[in-house]
Structure formats: structure tokens, C-alpha cells
Amino acid sequence: MKIPASALAALLILAGCLRMPAQEHAVTHHVLTDPGPVLASAATRPGVLLVREMDAPAFYQLPRLVYSRAPGTRAHYEYARWSEPPAQRLGWLLRQRLEASRVFEAVAPLGGSVRGDYQLNTRLVDFFHDSASPPGAALLVLEADLVRRADARLVARRMFVAQEPVAAYDAGGAADALGRAANRVIDDLTVWLGQVVAVEPR
């Protein structure tokens, strides 16, 4: 007996002999921005501040959004990315903010031909969506050191922590909250730096 082609195809699918193409998931790329506002420093410090490229653990050197569902664990969102590695982007945003706020007379990246009077070193310690209790919160921890280059003296050190609630229990909600946490840390670090150099002997 001859079996119609349509019936044969149905039998093969049911038997697992044919594989239907998997549904493709689009990857969304999120961009960290700094909406400001940019407030000019009350007193500009003469000289040049060199900003070193931000350090980060290996896990945060990828342009991946990170979440945690249990203490001491980290995982990457599968279909969500940052437009560039977070430490690289945060370092650039911070440098732009410091330049605009006029805490120092001039700001430049470390490693070029510019000679500086002070150096700002930063390290991204943590930057993730804590989703243990949905919808969770965004957490950013960043360490900063200000060094006087003439004598390699540590002028000041501070750990910055920002936590922002996540509105939606998904990667988009996480990215939005992480962006707000980043803005808070940039705000706090800029204010702190202005306070530190205001009392630093000239």
C-alpha cells in the first residue's frame, strides 16, 4: 500500500527522525549611559588628573549582564549583553564626568604622553543583578584610590556601593537598574574626589 507523502512526513516527525529548526533568540545589547546632571566643582584643582583603565575580575571582562540567585554565585544572562565590557564603559563614563565637572584643571587617560600630578585608580569589584528575591536589586561595588604621582603617596581610598531596585524581573529591568547604580557611583565618586582635593595641600 502506498503511503501519501504528507502522512509519511508526519510519521517521521513523530518518530523523531526529523528535527524542526530551533527558534532563534535575538540578543539584546544594552548601553550604559550617564545622564548627569553634571555639576561644576566649587574649586578646580590646578594640575592634571590621570585616570587609569578600570580593573575588573575576569568574570566582568566580558560584555555580559550578570545575575545571582544564591549568595556566592554568579551567572551570565544568555540573551543580554552590554555594548562593551562594563569596566571599560564605566571607566570612560567616569573620565568624561570628571572632565566635565572640572574637579581638576585637566583630565586624561593614563598611558599616553600626558604628564599628570595625580592618578585615579579604580577597580570594579561587583556589578550584578541580585535576583534571589524577585524582582531583586542591582548592586555595584567599586573601589577608588587617589595617588599623588610626585611621591607615589596614597592620598585617599574609598569603597563605593550602590544598590537600586529592579522594576521588572528580566534582563531589561536588570540593565536599567544597573545603569542607575552606575550613575549613583559616578555621582558619589565625583563629589568625593572634589572633597579630597579641596583639603589636599597645594
pLDDT in tens, 53-71: 999 999 999 999 999 999 9
Give alpha helix (H) positions in the chain. 5-14, 86-101, 171-199
Mean pLDDT, rounded, for 11-35: 67
Cβ pair 155, 200 in contact under 8 A: yes
Residue ranges of domains in the chain: 45-199
Cβ pair 48, 114 in contact under 8 A: yes
pLDDT in tens, 153-185: 999 999 999 999 999 999 999 999 999 999 999
Report CA torsion sign: 31, 96, 118, 141.
negative
Output the DSSP codes for 110-173.
TTSS---SEEEEEEEEEEEEE-SSTT-EEEEEEEEEEEETTTTEEEEEEEEEEEEE-SSSSHHH
pLDDT in tens, 93-145: 999 999 999 999 999 999 888 899 999 999 999 999 999 999 999 999 999 99
**What is the spatial distance between Cα 70 and Cα 132, in angstroms, rounded to a whole number?**
6
Confidence check: pLDDT of 194 > 60: yes
Confidence check: pLDDT of 26 > 60: yes
pLDDT band at residue 201, thresholds of 50, 70 and 90? confident
pLDDT in tens, 73-89: 999 999 999 999 999 99
Cis peptide leading into 71, omega within 30 of 0? no
pLDDT in tens, 125-134: 999 999 999 9
Q: Considering the domain 45-199, what is its CATH architecture?
A: 3-Layer(aba) Sandwich (3.40)
Say which amino acid occupies 62. Answer: L
